Amino acid sequence: MNVQGEVIQEVNILVVDDEAVIRDGCIKILEKEGWNVKTAENGRDGIELVRDKNFDILLLDLMMPGINGMEVLHEIKSLAPSMYTIVITGYATIETAVEAMKMGAFDYIPKPFTPDQLRIVVKKALANKALVMEAEFLRAEQEKGLQAIDREKSKIRTIMNCMPNGVLVIDKDRKIALYNPIADKLLNISGDDPIGKDVDECIECKDLLSIISETLDGKRNPNEAIVSEIEGNNAIPLMAHVAPVVMSGNEIAGAVAILQDITHQKAVERMKSNFVAKVTHELKCPVSTITQQLNTLLEGALGELNEDQVKMIGRAKLWGLGLITLISDLLTICKFEAGMTIGSKALLDVREVILETVELLKPQAEERRISINISLDNLPGIVADRDGMKEVFTNLISNAIKYNNEGGGIEIRGEKDNNHLRITVSDNGLGMSSEDQKYIFDRFFRVKNKMTRNIIGTGLGLTIVKEIVESHCGSIEVKSEEGKGSIFTVSLPRNMD
């Protein structure tokens, strides 16, 4: 790879993943390409390696014990701003990919991956790095604006035409300075020769034009790119990365847009959601039947049971109910991923919903001698989805019962705060550590210690709560202390469109 006579003779790659099989596989695949590969089994070791050595590419696992991938990504951004990060994740949803890209990641690759998939994504990152280095050189040599790049047009055109992503370069006057064939295909750039013409006349994608305008205005951090999912030509789903070209004196000379076709990722996401939905639907009916039959045995329909039999069947029934809850939660998650976050909204009395939920969960509370005190007087109505709100408070109150002590208490309070309605559900039960609180809303995360190991749960309830609350333009937060209980606060707008 040449950049104006300077030759980069070697490529250095760092793999940070807690799975040895992933690290070993990456070494075998990447070293065959003649690249140097180093590995680390956790985020902290990876950060130390970045401090000691320059790497071109970082392959980073998001889900690791200790410091997780997102925290590593945040820390290395200041240590090695020119290093390209490719996220490795077993939870490769568009949502997590976009979140990582907003923090500076270039791309992602889902587990499990094939050798070809790994080679392609690394080569794509190296190609982008080559283009950025070439642009940096030209910017340093020519400070009169992006039109000066014409002197090096053939060289840059060769690089751009070989790139797998669309590239569009706009000067400070909103004129198209450069573009490659992929960008033309993804955006359907109009005109026989769009170079030098106003971008608004050549491109119909309003979302991209809006992002370009925001970038050229210079109101954002000059080192910060805007990452957004947009619709390209023929409704092609695209992931757009738009960054300013900053000259000396922080003058913005233009903008560069990288456009990635995410049609395949969307298709995989739909297949995964459809598969989970079908499997969970097929499981729910037989599991419900088994649970009902166990309940029939407990009621003595086939004869009196001794104490050990009652205990064993009761435990089996409890696990069956837990499995039914898991199936329902998975179906709900599938709906979220399909964009069906909430149902119809209407004026709603939250107090009525909470009282109905408490009445439903009252037998569970009485069984554990847990008192529930409610203070929800004079609360204004909100516009919300009734089923969604019931799901939110069923999860929060149910957790307050399950993770409480025998004979404990629960407080449910509501108050008006400016334009928001705040509901707190607090208990004086087991509580959780500050470390656990960081992940409490993550999918499948559960607090695991000797006090909670016998409590059945899916690890999806609070994820669903957060999704529903945020879909109502609200927020949820938690405060907790081990051995003293937890306080969950839901904040919802009082007036919604």
Could you read off the pLDDT of 60-117 as tens digits, one per residue? 888 888 888 888 888 888 888 888 898 887 754 556 667 777 777 888 888 888 888 8
- Owning domain of residue 196: 142-261
Assess contact for 110 and 89: CB atoms under 8 A.
Answer: yes
The predicted structure's pLDDT at residue 145: 52
- Do 283 and 251 share a structural domain? no
Domain CATH for 91: 3.40.50.2300
The answer to whether residues 345 and 384 touch, using CB atoms and an 8 Å cutoff, is yes
Instruction: Identify residue 21 by its one-letter amino acid code.
Output: V
The DSSP bridge partners found for residue 252 are 246
Q: What was the pLDDT predicted at 454?
A: 66
Sign of the four-CA dihedral 408, 492, 327, 444 = negative
Does residue 43 contact residue 69 with C-beta atoms inside 8 Å? yes
**pLDDT for the residue 94:** 59
Which position has the token pair 């499995």? 323
Shared domain for 128 and 249, answered yes or no, is no
Read off the CATH number of the domain in which 403 is found: 3.30.565.10
450 and 430 in contact (C-beta within 8 Å)? no
In whole angstroms, what separates CA 432 from the centre of its chain? 23
Query: What percent of the chain is helix, strand and coil (3-state, nearest 5)?
Result: 45, 20, 30
Q: Which two tokens stand for residue 37?
A: 């590969």
Pick from 362, 369, 454: nearest CA to 405: 369
Residue 87: strand pairing partners: 60, 108
133 & 146 share domain: no
Count of domains forming the chain? 4
What single DSSP character describes residue 444?
T
Looking at 281, 307, 340, which one is the last position of a domain? 340
| Residue 54 sits in the same domain as residue 132 | yes
**Please, what is the Cα angle at 253 between 247 and 257, to 5 degrees?**
110
Q: What are the residues whose beta carbons fall under 8 Å from the beta carbon of 470, sequence distance 6 or more?
A: 476
Out of 340, 361, 381, a domain closes at: 340
Residues 363 and 332 in one domain: no
Over residues 146-170, the pLDDT tens digits come to 555 555 666 767 777 777 888 899 9
Alpha-helix residue ranges (DSSP H) falling in 238-368:
263-298, 307-337, 350-367
Tokens for 429, please give them: 């039960």
Q: Is the dihedral of CA 229, 185, 242, 101 positive or negative?
A: positive
Joined together, the tokens standing for residue 189 give 């750039």
| Euclidean distance between CA atoms 337 and 332, whole angstroms | 9
Containing 461, the helix (H) or strand (E) segment is: helix 461-471
Both 482 and 349 in a single domain?
A: yes
**Whether residue 217 is found in the same domain as residue 298:** no
Q: Are 107 and 146 in a shared domain?
A: no
Exposed e or buried b for every residue in 354-368, given b needs 16+ CB within 10 A?
beebbeebeeebeee
CB 1 within 8 A of CB 8: yes
Shared-domain flag, residues 243 and 311? no
pLDDT tens per residue, the chain (497 residues)? Answer: 444 434 346 899 999 998 898 999 999 999 998 999 999 999 899 999 999 898 999 998 888 888 888 888 888 888 888 888 988 877 545 566 677 777 778 888 888 888 888 999 899 888 888 887 877 777 666 555 555 555 566 676 777 777 788 889 999 899 998 888 888 889 988 877 888 889 988 988 889 998 898 888 877 666 677 888 888 888 888 988 888 888 877 788 889 999 988 888 777 777 766 766 676 667 767 777 787 888 888 888 778 888 888 888 877 877 776 676 776 766 676 666 655 556 677 888 999 999 999 998 998 899 889 999 999 988 888 888 888 899 899 989 989 998 999 999 999 999 988 788 999 999 998 999 888 888 888 877 777 766 666 676 667 888 889 988 988 888 999 999 998 999 999 999 886 44
The pTM is what? 0.45
The answer on 492 and 347 residing in a single domain is: yes
Separation CA 107–CA 129 (nearest Å): 13
Q: Does residue 53 sit in the same domain as residue 154?
A: no
User: Could you tell me the CA-to-CA distances from 346 to 109, 382, 388 in Å, in that order?
Assistant: 41, 8, 12
CA 173 remoteness from chain centre:
35
Residue that terminates a domain, selected from 340, 368, 395: 340
> Distance between CA atoms of 178 and 148, rounded to whole angstroms?
11
- Could you tell me if 451 and 430 are in contact, meaning their C-beta atoms sit under 8 angstroms apart? yes
Amino acid at 136: E
Please check whether residue 374 is in contact with residue 354, taking contact to mean a CB–CB distance below 8 angstroms. Answer: yes
Same domain, 18 and 49: yes
Domain CATH number, residue 184: 3.30.450.20
CA distance 170 to 255: 5
